[in-house]
């Protein structure tokens, strides 16, 4: 790479950041499998379910911590509840954290919380690049974004960098591969949160040699099963899932409804666990990213990565049950976080409100 961008080697030599990466498992596998986590970090749950990355044998917990909107606060706002969310996730055995510069102040909070946690060296940090550059093919904005991400998260080497929402992918994916060769990141990935992007994600998985793909997938939004998840499994690509609860829309639909009795057959004691376990059970899925700003909700969520997962027949039964619940079929027309529109009022919502005012 050209020295006129940034001297990455020199920069990394000055950071003195914590070492990163999960220990490599001794067993490689051609397909991700459920397994028990070994040698847990301090405070972790040794019984959590993990999935094996086919290419490396590395194990990731089946539940990951998402940070979009939920971890975005304005400067000066108290972050006590978010710190508890992170601590309860980590204490429950969770070891995958996903963030992005696009997520307002979330990246800063993630960096601080991981830095404070004694087991942070075992955390798998997934971050992103959202950049186009000054002109076609310009890498400078991506380089600066990456530099800032390492500073904010106190990471010398980041486990996974992802091309956020396929933005500028022809430039960003080769650049991330260069970072990987040079030892600045360990895995290369690409993301999107809309089903309309699945064909494009599938093409990238099949031809571009990425290590991870992140996509939306839930008991309601099942389009990823058609081509994307099979392609990822065939290529040995890790899969991170976003929107497993459809940004609380699934929870809204079942609000006040009792959990079906058959949920006890796979250890679900809440609706959140019901929905999370359904996604986790797909054999191509590596880790399911779920965000919250409520510590009690996190305590509930972490229970989804313990105990049995539903088999194929049970997953079909779960879908059939949901199809009997009024409103399930129209979740896509509901706003994100229904009834909580004013709950997440960080930098992102402030910027969106300013933009809306300018349009009036």
- List, in sequence order, every beta strand (DSSP E) within the chain: 34-36, 49-52, 59-61, 63-66, 96-98, 124-129, 158-163, 185-191, 212-216, 238-242, 287-290
Each residue's pLDDT tens digit, 257-299: 999 999 999 999 999 999 999 999 999 999 999 999 999 999 9
Closest C-alpha among 3, 130, 5 to residue 68: 130
**pLDDT value for 128:** 98
Q: What token pair was written down for 314?
A: 């049970």
Q: Topology of 35-359 in CATH?
A: TIM Barrel (3.20.20)
The DSSP output letter for 39 is: S
Q: How many CA atoms lie within 13 A of 136 on its CB side?
A: 0
Q: Could you tell me how far CA 195 lies from the centroid of its own chain? A: 16
Closest C-alpha among 276, 242, 293 to residue 69: 293
Each residue's pLDDT tens digit, 305-360: 999 999 999 999 999 999 999 999 999 999 998 887 778 889 998 898 899 999 98
Within 8 A by CB and 6+ apart from 226, the residues are: 198
Contact call for residues 66 and 289 (beta carbons, < 8 A)? yes
What are the structural domain ranges in the chain?
35-359
For residue 173, what pLDDT band results from cuts at 50, 70 and 90? very high
Q: What is the pTM of this model?
A: 0.87
- Percent residues over pLDDT 70 in the chain: 87
Q: In a 10 Å sphere around its CB, with 0-12 CB exposed, 13-18 middle and 19+ buried, how is residue 358 labelled?
A: exposed
Contact call for residues 109 and 82 (beta carbons, < 8 A)? yes
**pLDDT value for 262:** 98
Q: In a 10 Å sphere around its CB, with 0-12 CB exposed, 13-18 middle and 19+ buried, how is residue 306 labelled?
A: middle
Closest C-alpha among 183, 180, 184 to residue 211: 180
In this structure, how many other beta carbons lie within 10 angstroms of the beta carbon of residue 176? Answer: 26
For residue 41, what pLDDT band results from cuts at 50, 70 and 90? very low
Closest C-alpha among 211, 177, 175 to residue 191: 211
For residue 15, is pLDDT > 60?
A: no
For residue 139, the SS3 value is coil
Closest C-alpha among 161, 167, 166 to residue 132: 167
């Amino acid at each position: 790479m050209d020295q006129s961008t940034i001297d990455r080697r020199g920069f990394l030599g000055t950071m003195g950041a914590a070492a990163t990466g999960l220990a490599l498992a001794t067993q490689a596998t051609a397909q991700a499998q459920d397994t028990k986590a070994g040698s847990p970090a301090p405070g972790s749950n040794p019984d959590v379910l993990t999935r094996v990355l086919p290419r490396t044998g590395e194990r990731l917990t089946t539940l990951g911590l998402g940070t979009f909107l939920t971890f975005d606060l304005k400067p000066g706002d108290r972050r006590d509840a978010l710190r508890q969310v992170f601590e309860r996730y980590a204490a429950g055995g969770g070891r995958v954290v996903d963030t992005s510069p696009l997520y307002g102040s979330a990246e800063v909070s993630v960096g601080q919380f991981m830095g404070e946690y004694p087991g942070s060296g075992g955390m798998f940090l997934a971050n992103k690049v959202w950049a186009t550059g000054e002109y076609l093919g310009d890498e400078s904005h991506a380089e600066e974004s990456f530099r800032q991400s390492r500073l904010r998260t106190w990471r010398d080497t980041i486990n996974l960098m992802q091309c956020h929402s396929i933005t500028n992918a022809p430039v960003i994916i080769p650049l991330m591969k260069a970072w990987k060769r040079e030892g600045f990141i360990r895995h290369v990935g690409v993301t999107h949160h809309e089903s309309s992007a699945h064909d494009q994600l599938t093409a990238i998985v099949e031809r571009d040699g990425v290590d991870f793909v992140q996509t939306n997938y839930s008991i309601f939004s099942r389009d990823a099963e058609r081509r994307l998840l099979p392609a990822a499994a065939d290529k040995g690509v890790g899969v991170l899932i976003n929107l497993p609860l459809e940004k609380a829309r699934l929870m809204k639909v079942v609000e006040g409804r009792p959990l079906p009795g058959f949920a006890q057959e796979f250890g679900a004691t809440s609706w959140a666990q019901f929905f999370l376990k359904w996604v986790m059970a797909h054999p191509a899925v590596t880790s399911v990213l779920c965000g919250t700003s409520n510590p009690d909700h996190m305590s509930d969520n972490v229970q989804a990565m313990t105990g049995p997962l539903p088999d194929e027949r049970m997953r079909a039964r779960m879908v059939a049950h949901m199809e009997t619940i009024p409103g399930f079929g129209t979740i896509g027309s509901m706003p994100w976080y229904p009834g909580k529109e004013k709950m997440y009022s960080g930098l992102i919502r402030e910027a969106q409100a300013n933009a809306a005012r300018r349009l009036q």
